[in-house]
Amino acid sequence: MTYQHKASGQLFKFKDLKTLLAKATPSRSGDFLAGIAASSAEERAVAQLCLSDVPLKQFLQDAVIPYEKDEVTRLIFDEHDAKSFATISHLTVGELRNWLLDDGIQAEHLAAIQAGLTPEMVAAVCKIMRNQDLILVASKCRVETAFNNTIGLPGCFSTRLQPNHPTDDMTGIAASILDGLLYGNGDAVIGINPATDNVAQTITLLNMMEEVIQHYGIPTQHCVLTHVTNTLQAIEKGAPVDLIFQSIAGTEKANSSFGIDLSILDEAYQAGLSLNRGAVGNNLMYFETGQGSALSANAHFDVDQQTCEARAYAVARKFSPLLVNSVVGFIGPEYLYNGKEITRAGLEDHFCGKLLGLPMGCDICYTNHADADQNDMDNLLTLLATAGLTFAMGIPGSDDIMLNYQTTSFHDALYIRQLLQRNPAPEFHQWLKDSDIFSNNESGLLNKTLPASFATTLERIG
């Protein structure tokens, strides 16, 4: 297929599909860094017009990274479901946009085509949609997962409680966990990024979180965000592993830079299933992604960072995860320069992941050298929650003193729940009421007095 479009008497030509996708991408610093961005607003607009005329079937003929060279491409093509695709197979990218926005298209219709969509199709339609389009379509998607509680139900908004500490001090971590619980955080997961990343420390942290959860009878799950091979060794040593974490990207070469491939992920997934620890479900993988990860590893093959990010969701979808987290601003201004670019990328990632059937959360964040501030994060949090975001981060004061970046706080979850009338996961919500953390009503308001069951522990911590 020839990719070209005539505008104002000038013929614009794009040499292949990945070039067209890159030129059609809304402006961001990472694509300029890679030298693949549109050279002007005019070229970007023309590329978007050209892309809107590309038939969806073309994406099954024109791989952006060759099938023979990349196992993520092979995964995408080999697991494409022709039956699910049949409903939309006659559409172009532009017509898919109109179909998604149609008032008659609701959650059941979107679920029916999930397996027929490839990441590149989803990335393409994303590029010709405004922010409000991304919000509206994502809000129609329904993705539910379960382990020790149920995530993603309508009317719910969950949080990952992230009690990181710069020296892995157990008292400091425990204080942050209790602080977060008392703000109603932690139903998605209590997940620690360890400062000391080895098997012994992983087991120590797993045992500590297991003790807290068992002591208070909390219907949630825990996770140490260490390399998947460390978690495999922890399982072999008998550690209480709930969720298995790994960062993933959208190309085989980028994943190789993380020290993983699909076979390692499958080994970990099978090991997790063998433990049979989930009380209400067996979704046990927790993946983190982020635009720019493939480029930062020089593993993007001239594919734009938003399309690479969508390809990472094919990897995630393979393993039926409980949670997928786009750490949207963490990679820094070299890839997402300012609050505007971070906002756009967060909405894109959430839209693409949800459309592909994933339980998308977002670490709504920025690094200290980015042209962004907490008001930008407030805006993105509100937009994403309106779009049906599954979960966000909960961190003391929104300042992660271990990873040295700014994200969302325990208070932010209370803001969203009050603003949009959202509740935590139902099992966790009931526990919050039974523990006297929430008032015993449906308002989600905190009790003004310290629950008795926590008083002794807090006095001991000091």
Average pLDDT over every residue of 313-332: 96
DSSP 8-state secondary structure symbol assigned to residue 99: H
Is 404 a residue whose pLDDT tops 90?
Answer: no
**Looking at the predicted structure, is the pLDDT value of residue 445 above 90?**
no
CATH architecture of 145-435: Alpha-Beta Barrel (3.20)
58 annotated as ligand-binding: no
The answer to whether the beta carbons of residues 406 and 377 sit under 8 Å apart is yes
Which of 5-9, 114-118, 386-390 is least confident?
5-9
Q: Compute CA distances 360 → 121, 369, 382, whole Å.
A: 18, 26, 15
Indicate if the pLDDT at residue 441 is higher than 80: no
Pairing of strands 323-327, 360-363: parallel
The reply, when asked if residue 406 is annotated as ligand binding, is no
> Percent of the chain, pLDDT > 90?
92
Whether 188 contacts 429, CB under 8 Å: no
Structure tokens at 222: 């825990």
Pull the structure tokens for residue 202.
């992983």
Say whether pLDDT at 343 is over 90. yes
pLDDT category, 443, cuts 50, 70, 90?
low
Does residue 462 carry a pLDDT above 80? no
The predicted pLDDT at position 461 comes to: 66
Contact 320, 283 (CB under 8 A): yes
Is pLDDT at 201 greater than 70 in this prediction? Answer: yes
pLDDT in tens, 228-244: 999 999 999 999 999 99
In 35-81, which residue ranges form alpha helices assigned H by DSSP? 41-52, 71-78
Tokens representing 322 are: 């409980």
Look at residues 145, 177, 171 and name the one whose alpha carbon lies nearest to residue 158: 145
**What's the predicted TM-score (pTM) here?**
0.97
**Known binder of ligand: residue 296?**
yes
pLDDT the model gives residue 439: 84
Asked whether residue 162 is marked as a ligand-binding residue, the answer is yes
pLDDT at 123 over 90: yes
Mean pLDDT of 208-232: 97
- Cα 185 to Cα 205: distance, rounded to the nearest angstrom: 19
402 is annotated as contributing to ligand binding:
yes
Percent of the chain with pLDDT over 70: 99
193 is in an annotated binding site: yes
What is the CA 49 to chain-centroid distance, rounded? Answer: 29
Domain boundaries, the chain: 145-435
Q: Is 243 annotated as contributing to ligand binding?
A: no
**Residue 160 is assigned to a ligand binding site:** yes
pLDDT at residue 442 in the model = 65
Per-residue pLDDT of 28-43, as tens digits, reads 999 999 999 999 999 9
What does the pLDDT read at residue 444?
73
Q: Band of the pLDDT at 171, cuts 50, 70, 90?
A: very high
pLDDT tens string 2-24: 999 999 899 999 999 999 999 99
Quote the mean pLDDT of the chain. 96
Handedness of CA 13, 15, 17, 21 (dihedral sign): negative
Whether the Cβ atoms of residue 219 and residue 431 lie closer than 8 Å to each other: yes
Looking at the chain, how many residues does it have?
462
User: Across residues 140-146, what is the average pLDDT?
Assistant: 98
